[in-house]
Amino acid sequence: MAWDIYGRSISKVGVIGSGNIGPDIALYFTKVLQKQGIPVIVVDIAEKALKSGEARVKGKIGRGVKSGAFKQDEAESMMSNLSWTSDYSELSGADLVIEAATEDVGIKRKIFAQLEKICPETAIFASNSSHMEPEFIFEEMKNKERCLVIHYFFPAERSIIVEVVPGKDTASEITGFLMRFYEEIGKAPIRVKGRFGYAIDPIFEGIFLAALLLVDKGVGTVRQVNAMAQRALGLGVGPFTAMNLTGGNPITQHGLSEMHDKIGPWFHCPDSLNRQVESGKWWDTGMIGEDVSYSENDFKIVSDRVRAAYFGLVCETVGSGISNIGDLEMAVESALVVNPPFQMMNKIGVDKALELVRVYAKEWPEFIVPEILVKQAESGKPWDIPMVLREDRDDVSLVTIRRPNTLNALNATVMSQLKTIFTDIKQDSKIKGAVLTGFGKKAFVSGADINEFTRLKTPEDLELFALKGQETLNLIENLGKPVICALNGLAFGGGNELAMACTTRIAKKGLRILTGQPEPKLGIIPGYGGSQRLPRIVGFSNAWPILRTGNPISSEEALKIGLIHEEIEGDIIEEGIAFARKIISGELNIPPIKKEPIEVPDTLPEVDIGHLSRKTDELLQKATLEGAKMTLEEGLKHEAKILGECIRTKDMRIGIETFMKFGAKKNAAFSHV
């Protein structure tokens, strides 16, 4: 069985190596490809490694069944879709092969020489090297156009980031395909230019080096510096713990030495790391979560040093031209589970960040103070961190919201960037229309960022918050050019409200959960126009239960009630662009949303709101019914004002606190006051 996707056909995937990361790569592939019936073949010359890898994958899938992540039949399908073999001929016919063997160029070249003889000429060959330049790995290949690095991060089945690193000979068509393919299967790929270590590992290993140098100087023990660095950078685990979990000491030993020559002289392998590798032991970090004592004075020393190294490293990476701020910010935060660096610098002040780096460079003269950090500090402005991307396709702009760690949730930065981008589109005479979509396959926009709600204290705060967001949506609605919302996944709350501000909407076909207004489950009402636009688009009778229950509807139901124009089976982006051009040419006419008051039916459907707050429901009904008797402009302002009233209720606090603590799975125990 084959999957025809983005102009290529994938019928078999191979993974070479059943050691540290190969089985996890195979696990992810079988999870996303088993429904298409695409087999995943794991090859390793060592039978012991194959058995170990198979057992590991089986254990992870079993734990997934127990946690509810997988159904039993899905788990069985995933396992049966995987093959473990020492026979390379099993890769005959493979269309994509990922090599995940040891970091030895001789071994890698031998593997790819075999693959050239076995696999079809159309097959794509990728190495999961963590450091080596693609030109070096594939130097002896006959056809280098189909070869590149795809670097996964630990654990590969859960970490969404992959670095796609083409070599100088890699065909642009191959790189472009893989960027789209990985996004389609749920990863967040970033394209990185070839350099030793690529974009992220020099940062990962640089943070570790900065921590180790502090231990070597006697600032603290491994346990103490590990804990202090974790706290200072918001790391998921400390740098020494990360080395233990990934088994990274030998690779880092070699990597730091190579980086000394290829990136900068500050990178080097300290004697303490050499001794640790020779001993074969893990770093003494204690148990994860163990309380480690240290003085606040020592913490300040460690915090200043590791933050300085972190800021300098990310700025050096961007300054080198191999990556950009938007990609690196997203990738580092997700892959390394660390506070996003450019947001950190903006929070403390870019000038303060530069001061930290300069102090660090005085202590370590070989540490380079990046020129881009100096210039940014001199500008007096914060870093511009793109979360909304614009790509012009001739006369149509493609606008993509990209915050994969939050399922593209709307925050103040996203709303501001949307406003700026659509203002530019409005003023750009070359652009006749736009397509608005979300990054990935799970979500268009999962809603508004609830963290921002927790900072609002008064009804006026909440009302102004809504009105400011409405400005952006009103801009899109009244752009004077068609805006097609390509719903690549779910659209909840503010996401659905943003979609309804567009000229029309299309959605991926067969989405069991597409859209909804879940605000009542949080003890609030919509604030970006949900109570006003939804009845005007789908009619009061259809909108009433959606608004009051907070329950989502499918793409099929959304089409039936007129919320979307069409379900799309193919490439939703290309279909969105085609839709925009049909409207531009006059081939397709989409009536604008009703701006005048609308009639409220004499009788509305009975709605069982279950456990939901009766007080919130009262406010929601008031906003919806009274707003219908107003113009859309007046109704939107009315909705914002009533949203502000929610802050006076006990149930808003209960709803928000329950969501922040337990997520959407737990029902809030509303008091109805």
Nearest to 404 by CA among 421, 386, 392, 387: 387
Tell me the C-alpha distance between 385 and 549, whole Å: 36
Tell me the C-alpha distance between 298 and 287, whole Å: 21
Q: Tokens standing for 644?
A: 């502000």
Cβ neighbors of 68 (< 8 A, separation 6 or more) are: none
Look-up of token digits 């050096």? 316
Cβ neighbors of 40 (< 8 A, separation 6 or more) are: 12, 13, 14, 15, 26, 29, 30, 33, 81, 82, 83
Nearest to 379 by CA among 413, 412, 354: 354
Look-up of token digits 């890898």? 53
Tell me the C-alpha distance between 366 and 83, whole Å: 49
Question: What is residue 104's three-state secondary structure?
Answer: coil
Q: Which one of 133, 477, 497, 575 is the catalytic residue?
A: 497
Tell me the C-alpha distance between 141 and 120, whole Å: 14
Q: Tokens standing for 77?
A: 């399908």
Name the DSSP letter for residue 371.
Answer: H
Cβ neighbors of 565 (< 8 A, separation 6 or more) are: 504, 505, 506, 559, 579, 590
Give residue 519's identity as a one-letter amino acid code: E
Give residue 449's identity as a one-letter amino acid code: D
Tell me the C-alpha distance between 60 and 72, whole Å: 13
- Omega within 30 of 0 (cis) for the link into 340: no
Tell me the C-alpha distance between 440 and 188, whole Å: 7
Maximum separation of any 2 CA atoms in the chain, in Å = 82
Half-sphere exposure of 247 (CA within 13 A, CB side): 6
Q: Tokens standing for 303?
A: 């915090």
Tell me the C-alpha distance between 176 and 191, whole Å: 9
Q: Which one of 519, 567, 575, 639 is the catalytic residue?
A: 519
User: Which residues, in sequence order, are bridge partners of residue 149?
Assistant: 127, 165
Tell me the C-alpha distance between 240 and 244, whole Å: 6
Cβ neighbors of 101 (< 8 A, separation 6 or more) are: 16, 17, 19, 22, 107, 108, 111
| H helix runs in 396-458, sequence order | 412-427, 450-453
Q: Tokens standing for 43?
A: 């090859």
Catalytic: 566?
no
Catalytic: 519?
yes
Cβ neighbors of 586 (< 8 A, separation 6 or more) are: none
Tell me the C-alpha distance between 586 and 64, whole Å: 51
CB atoms within 10 A of CB 260: 15
Length of the chain as a residue count: 673
Nearest to 263 by CA among 341, 198, 338: 198
If phi > 0 it is left, if psi is from -120 to 50 it is alpha, else beta; for residue 266 that is: alpha
Q: What is the 3 state secondary structure string of 375-400?
A: HHHHHCCCCCCCCEEEEEECCEEEEE
What amino acid positions are annotated as catalytic residues?
497, 519
